[in-house]
Each structure stands twice: as C-alpha cells, then as structure tokens.
Amino acid sequence: MPDPSLQNQVGPPGVFQDVGLTTMGRLNMAGLRPEHDVLDIGCGVGRTARFLCDYLDSAAHYEGFDIMESLIEWCQEEITTRFPNFRFTFVPLYNSAYLPDASLPSAVDLRFPYPDESFDFVFAHSVFTHMSPDASANYLREIKRVLRPGGISYSTWFLFTETPSGSPSPLVAGMELDESGNFALHDPAVPDTAVGYREAFVRGLYADAGLAIAEPIHPGFTKLQDAVVASC
Ligand SMILES: C[S@@+](CC[C@H](N)C(=O)[O-])C[C@H]1O[C@@H](n2cnc3c(N)ncnc32)[C@H](O)[C@@H]1O
C-alpha cells in the first residue's frame, strides 16, 4: 500500500482500497480478461494496478502512465520490481489541478507513447473528470489508435443530461455550466479540479473517435462516476 500522503493525491482519504476494488469489479464486468494487454491512463499510484497484479496472466502486459512523477516512481519501485510485466511511464503534461506548470506540453497534443493496436483493454478511471474537452477528444482518438480491433475501453466521467443541476451527484449538481453548454466546472479558477460533461457531447466525442459505446452507460448515481464502455 502506498502511504496515506500518496493515496490522498488520487482521491479522498480512507477509500483508496474500496475505490480500487470497485474499479476492478467494473473493469471485469466491462469485459477485462486475464490474458489482456492493458493500458491504464492516468494510473496514479497504482490504485487499480495493485489488484491487476494478481488478476492478469504473467504473459499479459500492463502499461500505466501518469503526469505525476512521484506516483509513477512509487509504482515502478513497488510494483514493477515484483511484477516485471507491469510498466509505468511518467509523461509530464500541464494540468491546472495536478501539475500546474504552464511550461509543460498540453494533453491536447499528446500522442500516447505506445504503438498502434498494442492493447486489448484500455481504461481511464477518474481521469476524464480532470481534463478539458479538447484534451478528452484527443485521448479518445488515442485510445482508438492503441486498441486492437475489437478491443475494449472503459472510462469514467461526470455526466449530466442538459444542465448539471439535475444530476444525482452532489458534486456535479454544484458545477457551473460553461457557456458552450457542453461541460461544467466545479472550480472555474482551477478548471481541472473536476469537470462534468453533457452526455450527448461525450457521445459525439466517442463517435468522432470511432469508438462504439456499449449501451447502456453505467450511471454513478450519488457516489461513483459514470462509466462508459466502448469498443472499436
Ligand atoms: C483522481 S486521480 C485517479 C488516479 C487513478 N486513475 C486511480 O483511479 O487511482 C487522477 C489522475 O489523473 C492524472 N492525470 C491528470 N491529467 C492527466 C493527463 N492528461 N494524462 C494522464 N494522467 C493525467 C493525475 O495525475 C492523477 O493521477
């Protein structure tokens, strides 16, 4: 287990283990299999990877990347040393909440550091909830590029129908709608703190990326994030 100071960088205190287990269950229901080569976008401090270590076959490859170096270092030291088929990569990018260094490249232009069609399953838990619309659109296109034909993606979002105020999630309900109507922010001064999206807009991003959503979108209700499963 990473120590609490590292745990608290990826979510609220006290629920690190529960969130990892919940994500594992949802990945499994989305179609994850032990033989899959897996990409974990914004892997953080290995909250899900810790469970995947015992789940994935030793012949399967896991790759995780994140913009926070200290979290990646923990994963490399504590996970890769025990499970050499698990690799973690630090990719420095600007994020107003997690890495507010304006000299860094933008996620809008990132090409994931992996070849085309190299994964069977790609997931991003609680990452699109901290990204701008343009960056999210790029990441969906990159997911499509690195997935093998028939591959599966699983991503969580804060979704609302027309306006955030109707959401059952108190966090989303309190967000401020952008004038575009496509997204909403918890803290406009630090946009990446938490980003909510209009569901129809996200459906359009998936369609533009060539990813077919496996219906239905799984609602997060009051506490979880909404989960979108898609294939290419
Ligand atoms: C709420 S944490 C979730 C971490 C991990 N997915 C988990 O479930 O524990 C959000 C993570 O997204 C990472 N992140 C933010 N922007 C990113 C980006 N553009 N690309 C990759 N990771 C990013 C942050 O550094 C942070 O580790």
State the distance from the centre of ligand 1 to the C-alpha of 23, rounded, in angstroms: 14
State the distance from the centre of ligand 1 to the C-alpha of 141, rounded, in angstroms: 18
Q: Which residue's CA lies nearest to atom 1 of ligand 1? A: 10
User: Which residue ranges in the chain fall short of pLDDT 50?
Assistant: none
Alpha helices, H only, 8-55: 16-30, 49-55
Euclidean distance between CA atoms 173 and 120, whole angstroms:
35
Residues with CB under 6 A from ligand 1: 10-11, 41-44, 47-48, 66-68, 71, 93, 95, 98, 107, 125-127, 130-131, 135
Task: Please name every residue paired with 195 in a beta bridge, in sequence order, or none if there are none.
Answer: 185
Instruction: Read off the tokens for 82.
Output: 């025990």
Q: Which residue's CA lies nearest to atom 13 of ligand 1? A: 42
DSSP code of residue 164: G
At residue 228, the pLDDT reads 98
At residue 107, the pLDDT reads 98
At residue 58, the pLDDT reads 97
Residue of 174, 211, 214 whose CA lies nearest to 196: 174
State the distance from the centre of ligand 1 to the C-alpha of 25, rounded, in angstroms: 19
Pocket-testing residue among 66, 75, 99, ligand 1, by greatest number of atoms within 8 A of Cβ: 66
State the distance from the centre of ligand 1 to the C-alpha of 88, rounded, in angstroms: 13
Other residues' Cβ atoms within 10 Å of the Cβ of residue 215: 8
Q: Nearest 5°: phi and psi at 44? A: 60, -135
Report helix, strand or coil for 184. Answer: strand
Which positions ≥6 away from 21 have C-beta within 8 Å?
A: 51
